[in-house]
Structure 1
Amino acid sequence: MTSPPDPSSVRFDGPWTHRDVRANGIRFHVVEAAPDRPDAPLVVLLHGFADFWWSWRHQLTGLAELGYRAVAVDLRGYGDSDKPPRGYDGWTLAGDVAGLIRALGHTDATLVGHADGGLVCWTTAVLHPRLVRSIALVSSPHPAALKSAVLRSRKQRRTWLPNFLRYQLPRYPEHLLTTGDGFEVERLLRERVCASWSGTAEFVDTARRMRSAIRIPGAAHCALEYQRWAFRSQWRPDGRRFMATMREPISIPVLAMRGDLDRYLLASTFRRGHDLSPNRRLVTIPAAGHFAHQENPGAVTAELAELLCV
């Protein structure tokens, strides 16, 4: 049996800089690419479930070339960031991002998130509005819209609910994500991307890196704590208060992207929630599934460039 990877194993070399930043009481591993100018606007990139900063490698370099300071984060509990025993609720996660913006020396930022990372974008925009210029989401509807879709759409329940409920069990999901050198993570990735990308060398390399990152001690448990809080809080006062707060509409520019071949997030769910973000622009990314920012990175970066020019 192979030993678990060291957290520093996610610090891959490239045209970027690895940094440790303290915010909201813990240490975050961030990866930065930026032009040589101190006034470059900040763009913070937040990955999804069972992932890590590597998910944004294309946008890191693409946005830096366009003149932005792009910073990809290992979220709380992931990669080489700290893995505290608590803090996986919406309030704390938004505080993490707000703290990171300030710790990076900025007064505001554009937030970009995929799946769970997108939910953190929505939450930060509501709870810390002065720090957020705009948000961009990949396969991440507003949390209230997602909840409504799961309750009302049998088809969306079939694609989304089984894993979500499975992850509420004790211990078993951690074993599922890490056994077989993290094979379950590759299975989920392959299931949710388009067939053309899943046959590429880049897919194989990405799956290998994700399988290693989820096996870092504590990473699988922390990843699941995001899912567990989202479920268990529904019956607690903090969860009801959180969802009531999230129903407050936001007026900043919102770019919502979905791959045209995404079988996990349905198009009908993607379109929900206009009243919660009236300044939202919906974009379908061609030749992409649930990980559009990796499957068709050029198209996603071009849409981000348009948002950032607003």
Structure 2
Amino acid sequence: MAFFSFSTSPLTRLITGSRAKTASSKRGLASTIASIERSPGIIALDGPFTHDHVSVRGIRLHLAEAGSPTDPLILLIHGAFGGWYDYRDVIDPLAQAGYHVAAIDLRGYGMSDKPPTGYDLRHAAGEINSVIAALGHDDALLVGSDTGASIAWATASMYPQRTRGLVSLGAIHPADMRRAIRRKPYLHLTDISRLTSFLHPLFQIKVTRAARREIVSNTSPSYQRSNAFIETVLLRKKALSIDRTTTPIIRTNRYLVGSVPNKTVSAPVWLLKTNTRRWEHLANIARSRATGAFTAIAIPGGFELPYLEHPGEFAKTIAEFARSAFKPQ
């Protein structure tokens, strides 16, 4: 896309220094376009939602929202390689089902602030707690994927009064994840490889590749032949090009086994899992963390990103759980 065009007439070719000025102008334009392409605004998609920011704990966090603020809150929390846009096709169906829905950009991601520090689970859980209050709610149903699930588990254990229910995909409570890896490391070689990679400083040059690989590893071949797959990969590539995002992504990946108080979860839990030995092991350990109702549900198709592949069905599943979670107590 070009905003300007440059031409050199015979007259300008006779003017001393005009070529240098033209070259300089081209470089300036290229720099401006590159700056625009690295701006958070590149992922401000249009849709049946509004974009807003809330100020919590000294930073501004971006949210894509839909539904009435007087309806119960469902808060959608993305994973280490994603952003609010991962849930773009889930927001409206949940709002139509009668909920106030907010998909967040976590600290360091997308259109949220990117401070140099504060990338630990205690900060993340505290910010989710503050976001719920800033949106005018006493509590919320937390839906987390990957490290977003780690944050949701941490929030549910540290702030039980804020958590009406928990839907978890791709991760369990960080303390339980550490225990699972110690007990049966042979089931968690992929997790070990991932965590080891993010301790190495050279991994920052591989972030975009890892973000694409996460989608490929956790979606079906038919989805990968679709336009939706191409759009999602491009969105992630754009989001990862935004200035100052690499460090947050590297640190957020460590949330899978991060340090938080070793407390139980009293809110009802739905754990969405695949039918694999790894997930049977994780589900058994996660069950002991929950003192309330715990339900492990197999994801149809066996892939861990149903909100990308089947957003309508995923929204129906979440709405079903929300109806039970928000019943008057």
TM-score norm. by structure 2 comes to 0.82
Partner SS, residue 110 of structure 1: strand
Equivalent of 2:74 in 23, 38, 43: 43
Partner SS, residue 304 of structure 2: coil
Matches for 1:225-236 after TM superposition, within 5 Å: 225-228=251-254
Equivalent of 1:251 in 266, 276, 280: 266
Distance 1:249 1:94, change over 3 A: same
- Contact 2:105–2:112 under 8 Å retained in 1: yes
Counterpart-to-counterpart distance in 1, 2:122 and 2:51: 27
- Contact 2:274–2:304 under 8 Å retained in 1: yes
Counterpart-to-counterpart distance in 2, 1:272 and 1:302: 27
Match of 1:82 in 2: 113
Partner SS, residue 272 of structure 1: helix
Deviation at 1:230, TM superposition (A): 6.1
- Contact 1:137–1:255 under 8 Å retained in 2: yes
Query: In percent, how many aligned pairs have the same letter?
Result: 29
Deviation at 1:141, TM superposition (A): 1.8
Question: Do structure 1's residue 205 and structure 2's residue 231 form an aligned pair?
Answer: yes
Match of 1:297 in 2: 311
> How big is each residue's C-alpha offset from its partner over 1:154-173, in whole Å with a ceiling of 9 and x where there is no partner?
33332211121111112x12
AA aligned opposite 1:73: I
Partner SS, residue 88 of structure 1: coil
Equivalent of 1:30 in 63, 66, 88: 63
Q: Which moved more, 1:278-287 or 1:268-277?
A: 268-277
Q: Which moved more, 1:147-156 or 1:67-76?
A: 147-156
Moved over 4 A (4+): 228-231
Counterpart-to-counterpart distance in 2, 1:39 and 1:189: 35
AA aligned opposite 1:131: R
- Contact 1:144–1:273 under 8 Å retained in 2: no
> How big is each residue's C-alpha offset from its partner over 1:160-189, in whole Å with a ceiling of 9 and x where there is no partner?
11121111112x122222xxxx34421332
Counterpart-to-counterpart distance in 2, 1:273 and 1:194: 26
- Contact 1:286–1:296 under 8 Å retained in 2: no
Matches for 1:101-250 after TM superposition, within 5 Å: 101-170=132-201, 172-177=202-207, 182-228=208-254, 239=259, 242=260, 245-246=261-262, 248-250=263-265
- Point out where structure 1 has 5 or more consecutive residues left out of the alignment: 234-238
AA aligned opposite 2:192: L
Q: Which moved more, 1:148-157 or 1:120-129?
A: 148-157
- Point out where structure 2 has 5 or more consecutive residues left out of the alignment: 1-29, 325-329
TM-score norm. by structure 1 comes to 0.87
Counterpart-to-counterpart distance in 2, 1:69 and 1:259: 29
Match of 1:276 in 2: 289
Counterpart-to-counterpart distance in 2, 1:188 and 1:293: 14
Q: Which moved more, 1:61-70 or 1:184-193?
A: 184-193
Distance 1:266 1:253, change over 3 A: closer
Counterpart-to-counterpart distance in 1, 2:220 and 2:284: 21
- Contact 1:156–1:266 under 8 Å retained in 2: no
> How big is each residue's C-alpha offset from its partner over 1:273-299, in whole Å with a ceiling of 9 and x where there is no partner?
211114111111112412122122233
AA aligned opposite 2:193: P
Deviation at 1:128, TM superposition (A): 1.1
Partner SS, residue 76 of structure 2: strand
- Contact 1:29–1:74 under 8 Å retained in 2: yes
Match of 1:236 in 2: none
Match of 2:279 in 1: 266
Counterpart-to-counterpart distance in 2, 1:81 and 1:94: 16
Counterpart-to-counterpart distance in 2, 1:145 and 1:28: 28
Counterpart-to-counterpart distance in 1, 2:140 and 2:122: 18
Deviation at 1:143, TM superposition (A): 1.8
RMSD: 2.1
Distance 1:297 1:61, change over 3 A: same
Deviation at 1:228, TM superposition (A): 4.4
Figure out how many residues of one structure are paired with residues of the other and give that number: 290
Deviation at 1:24, TM superposition (A): 1.7
Deviation at 1:192, TM superposition (A): 2.6
AA aligned opposite 2:285: R
Distance 1:300 1:80, change over 3 A: same
Counterpart-to-counterpart distance in 2, 1:297 and 1:267: 24
Partner SS, residue 191 of structure 2: helix
AA aligned opposite 2:297: V
Counterpart-to-counterpart distance in 2, 1:87 and 1:280: 31
